[in-house]
């Protein structure tokens, strides 16, 4: 089932899709509904949508959530969104860059969910921005590149700095796959929907956040190097590093991608 074709909507307003802003518009209503369902959006929820575009996902969110706050960077799309949603009482349209929005100012102390088909060129930056915010979301359901979804939901053996930076806050699941043809214009790659459920007792809260990221970043600095050698970038002596590794039972000859989030937390606490 398809909604109005994005090309027709854009033509009506004399606008063309901008590749540089990651503009690939979803128009398969079934997929859009599956995204909303994956976030279990109900009338109790306040939702942040990143990049509403021409409003296909926004329409479903407005119909199911208590409130929707939609942040769109492209000023050419604002008139389309205003025409479509100007009368809806539960939407706030913001013209701006998501990376400059402070969720504490948008939602105060109300809990919120993020539901979005994100612009792929800033997926990592969006995750970093929202997960490190003082007021974090409870849940994120995001359409991302399929390859990125695989990296985010990877397990020890294949973990990356990106995966650890997200999994330390909660559980990551890949919940759907979307073919490129479901978008217009189609992106060069297939996409997937991921759900990140943040946990109040996530591993990161058992350590110091700044120290944790310093240790993990050092550990991943050079992919081919053993962990004990990468950790030499920290302002610690070789014996201090080796002793810490020994005390937490981590073999220093392992590679960073094999360590679980819990092992990184234990190591950070030992090195501090």
Instruction: Give contact residues for ligand SAM (rule: CB under 6 A).
Output: 21-26, 50-53, 56-57, 71-74, 77, 97-99, 117, 119, 122
> What gap in Å lies between CA 253 and CA 183, rounded to an integer?
45
Angle of helix 56-64 relative to helix 78-85, nearest 10 degrees, comes to: 30
Question: Least CB distance from residue 148 to ligand SAM, whole Å?
Answer: 13
Beta carbon of residue 134, minimum distance to ligand SAM (angstroms, whole number): 20
Looking at beta carbons only, is 68 or 122 nearer to ligand SAM? Answer: 122
- Give the alpha-carbon dihedral of 125, 198, 196, 258, to 10 degrees: 80
Instruction: Please check whether residue 49 is in contact with residue 71, taking contact to mean a CB–CB distance below 8 angstroms.
Output: yes
Bond before 185 cis per omega within 30 degrees:
yes
The contacts of residue 191 (CB under 8 Å, 6+ apart) are: 143, 144, 145, 146, 149, 177, 178, 180, 183
In the complex with ligand SAM, which residue's Cβ is closer, 22 or 203? Answer: 22
Find where tokens 């949603």 sit.
85
Give the residue from 159, 157, 161, 163 showing the smallest Cα distance to 144. 163
Q: How far is the CB of 53 from ligand SAM (least distance, A)?
A: 3
H or E segment to which residue 12 belongs: helix 6-12
What's the closest the beta carbon of residue 209 comes to ligand SAM, in angstroms?
A: 24
Q: In the complex with ligand SAM, which residue's Cβ is closer, 55 or 203?
A: 55
Pick between residue 3 and residue 252 the one whose CB is nearest to ligand SAM.
Answer: 3
Q: How far is the CB of 240 from ligand SAM (least distance, A)?
A: 42
Comparison of 61 and 267: residue with beta carbon closer to ligand SAM: 61
């Amino acid at each position: 089932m398809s909604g109005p074709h994005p090309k027709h909507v854009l033509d009506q307003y004399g606008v063309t899709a901008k590749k540089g802003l990651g503009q690939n518009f979803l128009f398969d209503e079934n997929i859009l509904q599956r995204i909303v369902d994956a976030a279990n959006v109900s009338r109790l929820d306040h939702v942040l949508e990143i990049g509403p575009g021409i409003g296909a996902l926004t329409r479903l969110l407005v119909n199911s959530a208590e409130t929707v706050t939609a942040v769109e960077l492209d000023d050419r799309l604002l008139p389309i969104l205003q025409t479509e949603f100007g009368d809806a009482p539960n939407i706030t349209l913001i013209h701006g860059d998501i990376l400059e929005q402070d969720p504490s100012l948008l939602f105060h102390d109300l809990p919120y969910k993020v539901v979005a088909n994100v612009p792929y060129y800033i997926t990592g930056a969006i995750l970093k921005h929202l997960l490190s915010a003082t007021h974090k979301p409870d849940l994120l359901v995001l359409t991302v590149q399929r390859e990125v979804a695989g990296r985010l939901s990877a397990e020890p053996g294949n973990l990356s700095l990106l995966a650890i930076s997200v999994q330390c806050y909660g559980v990551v699941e890949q919940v759907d796959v979307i073919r490129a043809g479901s978008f217009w214009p189609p992106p060069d790659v297939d996409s997937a929907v991921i759900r990140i459920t943040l946990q109040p007792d996530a591993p990161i809260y058992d350590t110091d956040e700044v120290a944790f990221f310093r240790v993990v970043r050092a550990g991943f600095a050079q992919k081919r190097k053993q962990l004990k050698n990468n950790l030499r970038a920290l302002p610690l002596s070789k014996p201090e590093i080796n002793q810490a590794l020994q005390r937490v039972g981590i073999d220093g000859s392992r590679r960073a991608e094999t360590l679980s989030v819990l092992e990184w937390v234990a190591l950070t606490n030992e090195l501090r």
